[in-house]
A and B are shown apart, each in its own frame.
Chain A
Amino acid sequence: MYQRDNSIGKGKDWILIWLYVIIVIIGLVCIFSVEYKSNDDFFRSLFAFKKTYSKQFLFFGISLVLATFILLTDSKFFTATPNLLYIIGILLMMATFVVGKNVNGSKSWIPLGFMNLQPVELCKIFTALALAKYLARNDTDFTKPRSQLIAAGIAFLPIVFSILQNETGLALVYFSFLLPMYREGLPPGYLISGASLGVLLVVTLLFPPKTLIIALSVIAGITIYFMKRKIKRNKGLLVVILGIWLAATLFVGVAVPFLFRHVFQKYQADRIFSMVGRDNPFVDASTATITAPEPTAKAGKDDKENYNVKQSKIAIGSGGFFGKGFLKGTQTQGDFVPEQNTDFIFTSVGENFGFVGCFILMLLYFGLMLRIVYIAERQRSTFSRVYAYSVVGILFFHISINICMTIGLAPVIGITLPFMSYGGSSLLTFTILLFILIRLDADRQMVLR
């Protein structure tokens, strides 16, 4: 059945490859627009590899070479080695505690001379492969809780190390492995309750409790109305819905305010709110008396994060419908948005190319993800399918959280925008992640284990 391809292009999903290339090039253009000043000598600095855009250009080159290698590798390599790679990944993460380099307060980098490697990024690939390997095993019955527990163990083990490295944002990414597990039969309750708890937490930060309680009641009412018949047959359902409604309302109306008023110190609460670019709404007379003197360093950081989101919103919002034009963004050129070439790269799209540019970029990203879903479903082997859904999960988490944080819909947790953010570690990781999928997909006629 399996025949070795003579040409590297045969059987490869070119749509995916082109989407990848286009997005990376858009990323390069954006990094260029952030860094470039009108008096720079473009060609000289491009090949001097001193500027971020020229470095990113270099990383793109390396990525293409690496992608070619991956496409030339026998796909059996990926099915044979996951366990080993996973162990290596975990060891690398442990190694950071010994040889780690401190970058921006997190000790998660291993210096390699020409670049810094972040094992937690690389480990995503290994985890995806290991999860796929485990779920594809003949003797794994994913309906059994034991299997579910082992799968969760594989997926969530890196979180422990990541949190220890003070990289909470990257740790959260591993929750995206819930997506392939859901696809493979994990009861939807886990996904729904997990997701809704997350959403509820974020919306409590974004909106005042009164609005939320009204919204929740409306949602509950609508649910009851549409489920009238089911409820008639099963009274317990009504109790469940009302129970959920009551729990959510209590969470929003009582638990969260209580938490912010009495459990958290004022600076902690401020910091959490500043992550979404809002001022702490729970400041009132009652807290004023309890608040401990504010540690200035913390306050400085709050201001900074609040500032990030505000500047990011200003940059994107000022782009308008058509944008200000390439290299004409005053906010981008004035370095108003901090970390603009990494976590906040989307702001330069928003400012330079406006709503139209953002819309097109979103089409590309979501097109890419839907294409992977399509590819996943055409796989004959569980291994490839699980791996593909892992890729979708990781991409989805990164893209939606990153963009939501630039437009003030999610807390700033410091994760990159795949394929666009500056940084070798991020670009190489996502390239490898994607091209392994393309390689596996090329052999979709085979049943890989």
Chain B
Amino acid sequence: MSVFNQSRKNVIRLILISMFLIIIIRLLSLQVATSKYKILAEDQGVFRKVIYPDRGIVFDRNHKAILQNTIIYDLMVVPAKIKGTDTATLCNILQIDTAEFRKRIITAIIKNKSYRPSVFEALLSEEKMAKLNENMFRFAPGYYLQERPVRDYPYDAGGNILGYLSEVDTNFLKSHKDEGYMIGDYAGKTGMERTYEKVLMGQRGIEFWKRDNKNRLTERLENGMYDTIAIAGQNMYTSIDIELQELGEKLMENKLGSIVAVDPKTGGILCMVSSPTYKPKYLTGADRKKHYSNLLLDPALPLFNRSVTATYSPGSTFKTLQALVGLHEGVITTDFRVACSGAFYGCGGGKPMKCLDRGVFDLRGAITISDNTYFATVMQKVIANPAYPNQDSSLRKWDNYMYAFGLGHKLGIDVPSEKPGNIPTPAYYDKVHGKGKWNYCNFRSVSIGQGEVNVTPIQVANEMAYIANKGWYIIPHLVDSIDGGDKFGMLEKFKKKHNAIDIPDSVFEAVHDGMQGVVDHGTGVAAKVPGIAICGKTGTVENYIGLVKQPNHAFFCGFAPRENPKIAIMCVVENSGRFGGTYAAPIVGLMIEKYLKDSIAGKERKAKLEQLSKLNLIPPRIFRETQRRDSLAHAKDSAYLIAKGYIKMIKDTMGMDASDEEDALDQMKKEKELTKKEQKKTPDSTGTRNAPAGILPDEKKKPLKEPVDTTG
């Protein structure tokens, strides 16, 4: 029988072999023919974990850390493990109700599944953190605290200089394509954090991790063979004197304006105050969004770095430069005298340009008492200089002087959002008046720093450094050196002296004489500091919003000491009214004293400091706008949309490019809802809510009826 069926063994063998072939062919198609499964496997099996290095630390000129890193904590939750924890206590500490608790847990489960950790509350405030830390044992193991590095500001000053970090947006990602940023990353948005982003950021590391079926990271792929190590950001040493900065911010409290001080020898910025400012801590850590939206909507524009972005007419501070031009062009000598009989009549009729002190002045005297007629005459002579064929070329020559002084163009400082200011050109006047149809009398007010000329505070401070150095400046900058070397060549331009026009020292001496006279017995006596030879110049700047004349801006700029100058400084107090000597000069005096003598000496000076600090010079329009904004936020349905337009306006004004506006709006919306709820709860409430305080305590917001003239 078995012989009969012997051939069947071959059939069986055939079956075996064909199955073998089927399997092998299928394996070939799965494993060799396509890489689809490899990609699928990598997608789910390998995780590319980005390791963020510590950002660089920033030091001031005395090697005090002014920007460093600290840790705050996120409360994390693993929903699968929270059974049996004391939810009530937790809610109590976090000040949330059970509904909110449930909502957060459900969100966590939806986002990350219940066996993976999710953030329950991000960036815990110090208070909550302290309470939680004590009770953490009750919430383990479902909850735990996770460190998160954030920026820390030990001095709580210089927010506008240091800047802040914010989440990158799509525009940023587009413009920094190849630098490894991803959605959710933070990058410097303003200030030094932005300019030196590359330096401070360091180099990100990448770790490849194996991931399991529940998306948990298990271990390094190949023991970290393909990993890149994170390199910490470089530390930076700046020229900032943080104490001077603090003093400046104190003096500028309750005022709009700016103080910029520069070391003339190095171009290093000693302080850069923009007022109102904000606590830099506001824009890091907990409640960041809330603070941000308040700051953004504040009509006093605390996020706006006035020192580099605001442009003003320079006013009388411009006269010093006219003196330089006049002397170097040879159209006047130091002995050139002009008589002021009450106004400048060099252009015949029309609106005369008034001068305050009648009399006959030489150059030094004219600077000292800031005589308008004198400088109007000087510029007239420059423009009408017979050495040049026509007024086009002579104005162009004058423009070149201004450019050499650092005006009319961006200086190239290492603070973002710098504005170029404006110096009028012949082409401009051709456009306005028609070619050849203009003459000096059309723009004579430029000679005294009004009209078409515009400068930023940093440009004025730089111009003072230029005069102090007798003919050269170094581009003002914050960063002196970078730990571990300037790898990106960012500091090279801050080593070069700029002296486009060679003006002899004697010319400067004459101007210095005049400027010293200003402080010693001229318009700026309020800046006087005993024992220091200060050269200065006041400015009282007329300004308009639309066509409405506003109170004058007070300007004072100068440098000290006269021999071997160590500080060049400018101060502007917006819409303070009165004269430059009244408010700006004493502030500069105190700043110079602090910097050169290390402290403010004597009771009288200290009292003056306090008095100036308390002095409220914020123009009433700001309060009107604050009220308008608050009522906007109140207006029921349209508020949101109106605010959208409002924010655009603010954005345009401030020259900001990247933005968190959407977040800010959301925050505002939330607050509005909250307010509504509160109002529902307490129907007898008046319905007015506390205006977001912005940055000023309420009692300080009331405008003073009449500013006290401290200089007498």
Chain A residues close to B by CB (< 8 Å) = 37-39, 142, 179, 182-185, 188, 311, 313-321, 328, 330-331, 333-336, 350-351, 354-355, 358-359, 362, 366, 369-370, 373, 376-377, 382, 385, 389, 392, 396, 400, 403-404, 407-409
Q: How far is the CB of B676 from chain A (nearest CB, A)?
A: 40
Q: Which residue of A is nearest B217, CB measured?
A: A334
The answer to whether A316 and B27 have CB atoms under 8 Å apart is: yes
Known: A185-B5, A382-B2. A314 touches B19 (CB 8 A): no
Interface of chain B residues 1 through 37 with chain A (CB within 8 A): 1-2, 4-6, 8-9, 11-13, 15-17, 19-20, 22-24, 26-28, 30-32, 34-37
- Chain A residue with the shortest CB-CB distance to B223: A38
Instruction: Determine if B688 is an interface residue (Cβ-Cβ < 8 Å).
Output: no
Across-interface contacts of B20 in A (CB, < 8 A): 362, 366
What 10 pairs between A and B have smallest CB-CB spacing? A317-B37, A330-B45, A318-B41, A334-B212, A355-B31, A317-B30, A366-B20, A336-B213, A318-B38, A335-B213
Residues of B within 8 A of A318 (CB): 37-38, 40-42, 45
B211 within 8 A of A: yes
Q: Is the Cβ of B36 less than 8 Å from the Cβ of A317?
A: yes
Task: Please determine whether B37 and A369 come into contact, CB atoms closer than 8 angstroms.
Answer: no
Judge if B611 is at the interface, Cβ distance under 8 Å.
no
| Chain A residue nearest in CB terms to B20 | A366
Residue pairs across A and B with Cβ atoms less than 8 A apart, 14 shown, are A182-B11, A183-B5, A311-B213, A313-B37, A314-B44, A317-B36, A318-B40, A318-B41, A318-B42, A334-B45, A355-B28, A359-B24, A362-B20, A362-B27
Q: Is B210 in contact with chain A by the CB < 8 A criterion?
A: yes
CB-defined contacts of A376 to chain B, threshold 8 Å:
9
Contact across chains for B17 and A317 when beta carbons are under 8 A apart: no
State whether A407 and B19 are in contact (beta carbons under 8 Å apart), knowing that A37-B218, A38-B219, A318-B40 are contacts in the complex: no
Q: How far is the CB of A299 from chain B (nearest CB, A)?
A: 18
Contacts of B28 in A (CB 8 A): 355
Contact B27 A377 (CB under 8 A): no
Contact A370 B41 (CB under 8 A): no
Contact B12 A185 (CB under 8 A): no
A53–chain B nearest beta-carbon distance, Å: 18
B182 neighbours in A (Cβ, 8 Å):
none
Q: Which of A142, A331, A333, A407 contacts B26 (CB 8 A)?
A: A407
- B26 & A314 in contact (Cβ 8 Å cutoff): no
Report the minimal beta-carbon distance from B563 to chain A, rounded to whole angstroms: 72
B178 within 8 A of A: no
In the docked arrangement, what's the CA distance between A311 and B23, Å? 18
B46 within 8 A of partner (CB): yes
Instruction: Please name all residues of chain A whose beta carbon is closer than 8 Å to the beta carbon of B507 when the two chains form the complex.
Output: none
**Bound Cα distance A320, B44 (Å):** 17
Assess whether B16 is in contact with A336, with CB atoms less than 8 Å apart.
Answer: no
Q: For the complex, is B221 an interface residue (Cβ under 8 Å from A)?
A: yes
The yes or no answer to B222 lying at the interface (CB within 8 A) is yes
Assuming A313-B37, A334-B212, is B31 touching A319 (CB within 8 A)? yes
B71 to chain A, nearest CB (A): 28
Q: Tell me, rounded to whole Å, the shortest Cβ–Cβ distance linking B33 to chain A.
A: 10
B-side contacts of A336, CB under 8 Å: 44-45, 212-213
Complex CA gap A242/B37 in Å reads 41
* A314-B37 CB under 8 A given contacts A355-B31, A373-B12: yes
Across the interface, do A359 and B27 meet the contact criterion of CB distance under 8 Å? yes
User: Which one of A315, A336, A409 has the greatest number of beta carbons of chain B within 10 Å?
Assistant: A336
The residue on B at minimum CB distance from A338 is B213
B169-222 contacts to A, CB under 8 A, are: 210-213, 218-219, 221-222
Q: Which residues does chain A contribute within 8 Å of B8, judged by CB atoms?
A: 182-183
A322 nearest CB across to chain B (Å)? 10
Instruction: Name the prevailing secondary structure of the B interface residues.
Output: helix
With A315-B41, A330-B41, A336-B213 in contact, is A370–B34 under 8 Å at CB? no
Give the complex CA separation of A335 and B37 in angstroms.
16
- Please determine whether B45 and A358 come into contact, CB atoms closer than 8 angstroms: no
Bound Cα distance A88, B41 (Å): 48
Contact with A along B391-427 (1 / 0, CB 8 A): 0000000000000000000000000000000000000
| A333 & B210 in contact (Cβ 8 Å cutoff) | yes
User: Chain B residue with minimal CB distance to A328?
Assistant: B222
Instruction: Closest A residue to B28 by CB, please name it.
Output: A355
Which A residues are in CB contact (< 8 Å) with B6? 377
Q: Which residue of chain A lies nearest to B34 when distances are taken between CB atoms in the complex?
A: A317
Contacting A373 at CB < 8 Å: which of B13, B42, B223? B13
CB distance from B22 to the nearest CB of A (A): 7
Minimum CB–CB distance from A243 to chain B (whole Å) comes to 24
CA distance A30 to B1 in the complex (A): 44
- Residues of chain A within 8 A (CB-CB) of B40 are 314, 317-318
Complex CA gap A335/B40 in Å reads 15
User: In the complex, what's the smallest C-beta–C-beta distance from A323 to chain B, in angstroms?
Assistant: 9
Residues of chain B with a CB closer than 8 A to A314's CB: 37, 40-41, 44
Other-chain contact of B218, A188, A334, A354, A373 (Cβ < 8 Å): A334
Given contacts A317-B30, A407-B30, contact A185 B44 (CB under 8 A): no
**Would A321 and B23 be within 8 Å (CB), given that A183-B5, A330-B45, A366-B16 are in contact?**
no
Inter-chain CA distance A350–B23, complex, in Å, is 12
In the bound complex, what is the Cα–Cα distance between A315 and B30 (angstroms)?
10
Chain A neighbourhood of B37, CB < 8 A: 313-314, 316-318
Which residues does chain A contribute within 8 Å of B2, judged by CB atoms?
184, 382, 385
Which residue of the partner chain A has the closest CB to B37? A317
Shortest CB–CB separation between residue A188 and chain B, in angstroms? 8
- The chain A residue sitting closest to B6, CB to CB, is A377
**How many angstroms from the CA of A362 to the CA of B18 in the assembled complex?**
12
Instruction: Enumerate chain A residues within 8 angstroms of B27, measured Cβ to Cβ.
Output: 316, 350, 355, 358-359, 362, 407
Distance of A208 Cα from B315 Cα, bound (Å): 87
Q: How far is the CB of B139 from chain A (nearest CB, A)?
A: 28
CA distance A10 to B219 in the complex (A): 50
CA distance A392 to B223 in the complex (A): 44
> Is there contact, CB below 8 Å, between A320 and B31?
yes
| A313–B36 CA distance with the chains assembled, in angstroms | 10
Judge whether B31 and A358 touch: CB under 8 Å. Answer: yes
Closest A residue to B44 by beta carbon equals: A336
A70 shortest CB reach to chain B, Å:
25
What's the Cα separation between A188 and B22 when bound, in Å?
22
Taking the closest CB of chain A, its distance from the CB of B57, in whole angstroms, is: 36
- Contacting A at CB under 8 A, from B207-247, are 210-213, 218-219, 221-223
Per the bound structure, the CA–CA distance linking A316 and B24 in Å amounts to 13
Beta-carbon contact of A370 and B31 below 8 Å? no
List B contacts of A354 (CB < 8 A).
Answer: 31
**14 new A-B pairs (CB below 8 Å) besides A185-B5, A320-B35, A331-B45?**
A182-B8, A184-B2, A320-B31, A333-B219, A334-B210, A350-B31, A351-B41, A354-B31, A359-B27, A369-B16, A370-B16, A376-B9, A400-B23, A409-B23
Residue numbers in A under 8 Å from B32 (CB-CB): 320-321, 355
A contact residues around B45 at 8 Å (CB): 318, 330-331, 333-334, 336
Shortest B58–chain A CB gap in Å is: 41
Most buried by B among A317, A335, A389, A392: A317
Specify the chain B residue showing the minimal Cβ separation from A386. B2
Which chain A residues border B41 with CB–CB below 8 Å? 314-315, 317-318, 330-331, 351
Determine the chain B residues whose CB is within 8 A of the CB of A37 once the complex forms.
Answer: 218-219
Q: How far is the CA of A410 from the CA of B34 in the complex (A)?
A: 21
Cα–Cα distance between A318 and B19 once the two chains are bound (Å): 23
